[in-house]
Structure 1
Amino acid sequence: MEYAAVVIGGSFLIEGASLLVAIQSVKKGAAQEGMTIRDYIWRGHDPTSVAVMTEDGAAVAGLAIAAASLVAVKMTGNAIYDPIGSIVVGNLLGMVAIFLIQRNRHALIGRAMDDQDMRKILHFLKNDSVVDALYDCKSEVIGPGSFRFKAEIDFNGQVVVQNYLKRTKHEEWAKLCGVFDKFREAAKKGDDSAMLNIMSNYGEEVVTALGSEVIRLEKQIRELVPGIQHVDIEAHNPMDQSL
């Protein structure tokens, strides 16, 4: 009995110290994500600290139950309290296992980011003047506190061009007018090769303008939700019947 008490006491000190460290880690994680501790335990992005805290908590509670069982056996002389304590500890560990399965199952099936973060991103995109409509917006957790976001966007072509010309200043206005003049001249002459060359160059400018908007949106999304590691923005194809 004395040896058992020493083992339980030593284990209680070790597990208790580990539990305190885990609790501090959970508090720190909750503060970083702006959540309450309760919300962080259920929805926090880093399940590791939560798992350690619950396991250590179960260990400390199990040791307390074991100690109570030993005391009951010692005081009453009835050995029935020993198996009762074992059953209670087993049920406790089972409940902790169920909680951890429920808590971490999304990591196995592709968990999406929190609704709050998703709403924040969608609100930003919907209120950006370059975005006419959003399609097929998806997110996925790829690691503790790390996400992937994907969306198809119907871009407002007029705003894309306006933003591009604002960035490139008046030189591009003159260049663009020159392109149209050259195209009209080539069309009058029926020079298909010249028209193709002119439109190819113009197409390059359009792609550059659209690419600049994609880069801008991706950068601002990462700033909005720092945990996003990968942003995949694509131009929506209205002819794609799979959507």
Structure 2
Amino acid sequence: MASGSKKVIIAALIGNSLISVTKFIAASVTGSSAMLSEGIHSLVDTGNQILLLLGLKKAKKPADDNFPFGHGKEVYFWSFVVAIMIFAVGAGISIYEGIHSLMDPHEIENPMINYIVLGLAMIFEGFAWYFAWKEFKGSKGERGYYEAVRKEKDPTTFVVLFEDSAAMFGLIVAFAGVWLSQLTGLLIFDGIASIIIGVILGATAAWLAHETKGLLIGESADREIVEGINDLAAGKNVIDVVKEVLTLHMGPQYILVTMSVDFKSGMDSDSVEMETAFLSKAIKDKYPRVKRVFIEAEASDLEGK
């Protein structure tokens, strides 16, 4: 999945960098605020993809004394930074430019250039969006789209998908703003389009921040995995009671498991060690993303003492 995510990010990076240059040139020629906002949008997206690639690279760093469980959460941190970038830079500047355009409107020159650039951008963004959607669809399995976003532990794929979706909506709004300004002669539509683009970016950023916050703080593994681990332990004849199973995602492909169990009475320490090793291996074999398992032997009659 990490390899697929990287391909999606690189595809979006190439597309957005080329599109942003084209949009800025068109904005300078035509004087369109909506086109300028779209250029800023694509430039921010380009920077965001660089940050996501940085996160993937840093997440591969091996564990050390200061980070004994590795650096997998770098992906979550940089995904959260991307959400902040979209909100602070993309949304903020777009709304500011739209308000400035409403207060001091300028006639759009050579609007046909805007139409051509926006049309080409829709094609390029459409390819990038399809690539991201295809990768996300493959990772979601049988889950619904909303559920898949809520439970996805690799945020890079849905971050790019959300960015590309916002970009497509922004292009449609920019096209409508330029067209209505030309059709009616009312220059305010161009500024309104810029503000709407900013609102779209702000809403996208808020949603991404909400989804990545839980991962950054520390989410558990999917309920199916937790229940499966519990069943594996409960199925051991040497275990009387599985008291607790706790999981934590240290990265998209790294799950930490801690559990407390009550072994049957009369077992010596060597037997407990052996059964603990067997259970740990069984959990890792069934769930490859589980990298570390800590099992605490705790007697039931000590509860509450």
Q: TM-score, normalization: structure 1?
A: 0.73
Matched, 1:68 2:130: no
Aligned partner of 2:140 in structure 1 is 30
Aligned partner of 1:226 in structure 2 is 288
Paired residue total? 195
Identity of aligned residues (%): 26
Q: Of residues 204, 210, 214 in structure 2, which corresponds to 1:106?
A: 214
Mark the runs of 5 or more structure 2 residues left unpaired by the alignment: 1-110
CA shift for structure 1 position 37: 3.0
Q: Match of 1:126, as an amino acid?
A: A
Matched, 1:213 2:275: yes
SS at match of 2:295: strand
Conserved in 2, the CA contact under 8 Å of 1:218 and 1:231?
A: yes
Q: Match of 1:144, as an amino acid?
A: P
Q: Of residues 149, 153, 159 in structure 1, which corresponds to 2:257?
A: 149
Aligned partner of 1:39 in structure 2 is 147
Q: Of residues 128, 131, 135 in structure 2, which corresponds to 1:21?
A: 131
Shift in alpha-carbon separation, 1:234–1:219, aligned structure 2, 3 A: same
* Whole-Å separation in 2 of the counterparts to 1:93 and 1:115: 32
CA shift for structure 1 position 120: 2.0
* Whole-Å separation in 2 of the counterparts to 1:242 and 1:96: 47
Conserved in 1, the CA contact under 8 Å of 2:254 and 2:290?
A: yes
SS at match of 2:270: helix
CA shift for structure 1 position 136: 4.3
Conserved in 2, the CA contact under 8 Å of 1:135 and 1:152?
A: yes
Q: Which has the larger Rg?
A: 1
CA shift for structure 1 position 100: 0.4
- Per-residue CA shift, 1:167-205, capped at 9, x if unaligned? xxxxxxxxxxxxxxxxxxxxxxxxxxxxxxxxxxxxxxx
- Per-residue CA shift, 1:107-132, capped at 9, x if unaligned? 22111112222122213322322112
Conserved in 2, the CA contact under 8 Å of 1:141 and 1:148?
A: yes
Conserved in 2, the CA contact under 8 Å of 1:26 and 1:37?
A: no
Higher relative contact order at CA 8 Å, sep ≥6: structure 1 or structure 2? Answer: 2
* Whole-Å separation in 2 of the counterparts to 1:3 and 1:74: 13
Aligned partner of 1:83 in structure 2 is 191
Map 1:106-125; keep pairs closer than 5 Å: 106-125=214-233
Aligned partner of 1:7 in structure 2 is 117
* Whole-Å separation in 2 of the counterparts to 1:28 and 1:146: 20
Q: Match of 1:19, as an amino acid?
A: W
SS at match of 1:35: coil
After superposing on structure 2, the runs of 4+ consecutive aligned residues of structure 1 that deviate more than 3 Å are 237-243
